[in-house]
Amino acid sequence: MTISFDSHADGIVIQDPIERRTFSLHTFDAVHPVAVDTDSFCFPVDCAVRVRTSGLRLPIPTAVYVRDASGEMLTSIEGIQHEELPSGTYTIELCPPIKLYLHVEGTVSISASFEDVTIDFDSVVDVIIGGRSLHRRPAGTVTTTTDPEDMMAAISTFGAALKTTSPERSFPTLRGHPPVVELGEELHVPDGLKPPETGITIEVPPEYGSIFPVAPLAYYLGAKLVPGNTPRIVTDEFERPLDTPLGFEKEVERILKQTFLFDCITRTEGLYPIDLYERQEVESMVDLDFETLYDTPSAKRLEAYLSVPYSLVAEFVPDWQLTTHVSPISDNVEMLPFLVNDLAVIRTPHAKEVSASSIQVPAVEQFVRGKTRSLSESAANPRSFIEPEPSDSLEEVWVGDDAPLGASKATVTAFQNRLERSAKDGDIDITVVCNDIEMSEERDLADEVYGSGRDLPFDVTVRYELTTEELRTVLESEAQFLHYIGHIDENGFKCIDGMLDAMELDSVGVEAFLLNACQSYEQGMALIEAGAIGGVVTMSDVINSGAVRIGKAMAQLLNSGFQLSAALNIARDQSIIGGQYTIVGDGTINVVQTESNVAVVLVIESNGDSFELTPVTYITNRGGIGGLVTPRLSERNRMYLASGTLPSSTLTKSELEENLRIENVPVHVNGQFTLSYSVDVESI
């Protein structure tokens, strides 16, 4: 199954059944799409149709890039803007939830606002519309032995997945998924997976603890990874030591981030010559000629980038999505392609052990104020936990045998389950199960939130007091998300006729889940092993009132398009017990599609008669680090690298009111979490 185009009353419904994305493209005239070949486009598209119309409207704001017949950029439209183009042949690139390209001949008028984009052709003309799924499959499968030098050869193939070694590799859509790695009896690299010829080599000692941390850098640079006594980057022109006083892993991390930032800046000389905030800020601080660097070979470009002290540009590096703590054992080589795909920072573990009794303290302290979701007053919890050393990334991920606190627990199985996800037409299926009638408050809140305010095909089912067989059916049925409210212990899920142990399930159809119950970690891990992709679980007993607050916030954030991990990071702050929740599996999964490559939380602080509004952006699985965002209040429609905190704006009361009514997005008002439509500006 691939991109589909279907007529509807207002135009065309476009669907990506792999990524479960839907987008409505409104046309000025009734249209009947006719399938055509894709030869009209200089960019890759999965399929294309031809329609006849005098114009189109996108019901959301989105970036628009217009190119001539040769592919040269003529203009870009972001934010509030109007462009008139004379008669000619144009390719118009659009960036809604499904990547679209228009091929048209004639005059074109484009008007963009923070509500929609209108494209007027002045008369009825043929328009070819091409669509491309953003689904990324691994470039192939490489087999390696446990020998470190064989692993180096396997990791060297990762760069073969890059769609370019130009600075445009900093765009997430131009970084392909590295090949899957499997352990076997001998090294086998399929044809077509040779590393690109960049002239860059990374030397490290042949040991897992040195090999794993450089995997993302080797991938991004398209470098060969080879054994060497001293960790260093080597080219024909220069060498750069990696074992510095800062520390090997920190130095590798800095070089990755610095190279990435300068690529994002240099690419504005290429296919996308936009007004980028980071370029405007950095250009005057460094002695680099970005126009010349754009056409410079990879090795020379890297040398120029690394001539700048990292401290000079560190503040402009976007907030990194992931830092992963990977135990240096042979089996974990199979995790590397999935971590590298997200351009994660990889570290060897440094963690402290935390006793089960210590994380029970918040529940014990609140027990006198309310009921926990435990089946007994002192549920057994013999497990001990580890707490990884924190980083400055938005999310910590643990790859190892232990159960982590403050970090997601990632497994190869979860990522393999994501790759094996099959295409599916139809609605977004969300199931809310409440197996304790006394917890109906959270059930009602969840029922109100999921699908509310979204022009998307939702199917929300609410169930309560299920039997073991009924719950088994729910877990085995295909659905995007399960929000479970009830009791769980070491024996499984409590049902009205007994206990259902997820470890006994042969398969699970639910993709993502929230198990809002006490001590749900083991059952969540069992769901992952049986087929789920990612979920939120608890590490100990949780107080009911706190669990309700966490559950409500998670529902609101997931419904707003946040990834599972980003939603939990924000929701944790809603209760003292938030630290007892964690992610198992792949936390980058989205339940609900977003209209852009970021999800946004607005932070509002009152300051007398004025208000400071600060957008905080989070990457969704539609994009990745390197994407762009234009804040609604940005001056001159300037674009920013997505991921992290954007510049603040000072607003009057009426201006704040106007901005909060544009879209119902999550907000923090003087530290309190809610949705923008619920904010009473008069009371702030």
CATH number for the domain harbouring residue 530: 3.40.50.1460
Residue range 86-97: mean pLDDT, rounded? 93
- Answer yes or no: do 107 and 201 share one domain: no
Whole-angstrom Cα distance, residue 618 to residue 615? 10
- Answer yes or no: do 177 and 295 share one domain: yes
- Answer yes or no: do 614 and 558 share one domain: no
- Per-residue confidence at 365, pLDDT binned at 50, 70, 90? low
Residue 394 domain-assigned?
no
Residue 634 domain-assigned?
yes
Residue 51 domain-assigned?
yes
Tally of CA atoms within 13 A in the half-sphere of 55 that contains its CB: 15
Structure tokens that stand for 649 in this block: 């704006």
Structure tokens that stand for 92 in this block: 């118009």
- Answer yes or no: do 558 and 434 share one domain: yes
The residues, ordered by sequence, that sit 6+ positions from 58 with a Cβ below 8 Å of its Cβ are: 25, 26, 94, 96, 116, 117, 118, 119
pLDDT given at position 367: 47
Query: Is 380's pLDDT higher than 50?
Result: no
Instruction: Examine the fold and report which residue of 558, 585, 612 is the final residue of a domain before the chain moves on.
Output: 585
Instruction: Examine the fold and report which residue of 97, 132, 167 is the final residue of a domain before the chain moves on.
Output: 132
Tally of CA atoms within 13 A in the half-sphere of 572 that contains its CB: 20
Per the structure, the complete domain to which residue 475 belongs is given by: 422-585
Reference 346, options 385, 396, 408; nearest CA is 396
Q: Are the C-beta atoms of residues 575 and 369 closer than 8 Å to each other?
A: no
- Answer yes or no: do 511 and 637 share one domain: no
The residues, ordered by sequence, that sit 6+ positions from 229 with a Cβ below 8 Å of its Cβ are: 203, 205
pLDDT digits (tens, 9 = 90+) for 39-76: 888 888 889 999 999 999 999 888 899 999 888 899 98
pLDDT given at position 517: 94
Dihedrals φ, ψ of 288, to 5°? -130, 140
77, 310, 455 from 630: Cα distances, Å:
11, 26, 22
- Per-residue confidence at 637, pLDDT binned at 50, 70, 90? low
pLDDT given at position 610: 92
Which residues make beta-bridge pairs with 203?
226, 232
Alpha helices for 368-486 (secondary structure H): 412-419, 440-449, 468-476
- Answer yes or no: do 198 and 298 share one domain: yes
Structure tokens that stand for 605 in this block: 């602080």
- Answer yes or no: do 119 and 160 share one domain: no
- Answer yes or no: do 546 and 626 share one domain: no
- Answer yes or no: do 114 and 191 share one domain: no
- Answer yes or no: do 74 and 13 share one domain: yes
pLDDT digits (tens, 9 = 90+) for 146-162: 999 999 999 999 999 99
**Side chain identity, residue 248:** F
- The CB density around residue 682, as the number of other CB atoms within 10 Å, is 7
Residue 548 domain-assigned?
yes
- Positive or negative, the Cα torsion across 164, 169, 171, 177? positive
Q: Are the C-beta atoms of residues 25 and 53 closer than 8 Å to each other?
A: no
User: Is residue 23 within a helix (H) or strand (E), and if so which, with residue range?
Assistant: strand 21-27
Dihedrals φ, ψ of 309, to 5°? -60, 135
- Answer yes or no: do 434 and 569 share one domain: yes
pLDDT above 90: percentage of residues in the chain: 65
Residue 350 domain-assigned?
no
Reference 162, options 139, 189, 141; nearest CA is 139
Whole-angstrom Cα distance, residue 257 to residue 191? 31
pLDDT digits (tens, 9 = 90+) for 211-250: 999 999 999 999 999 999 999 999 999 999 999 999 999 9
Residue 522 domain-assigned?
yes
- Answer yes or no: do 633 and 556 share one domain: no
Residue 565 domain-assigned?
yes
Cα 362–363–368 angle (5° rounding)?
110
Whole-angstrom Cα distance, residue 420 to residue 190? 21
Residue 371 domain-assigned?
no
Instruction: Examine the fold and report which residue of 105, 132, 159 is the final residue of a domain before the chain moves on.
Output: 132
pLDDT digits (tens, 9 = 90+) for 431-489: 999 998 888 888 888 778 886 666 566 788 999 899 999 999 999 998 999 999 999 99
The residues, ordered by sequence, that sit 6+ positions from 357 with a Cβ below 8 Å of its Cβ are: none
* Cα distance from N-terminal residue to C-terminal residue, the chain: 50
User: Is residue 286 within a helix (H) or strand (E), and if so which, with residue range?
Assistant: none
Q: How many domains does the chain have?
A: 4
DSSP at 175? B
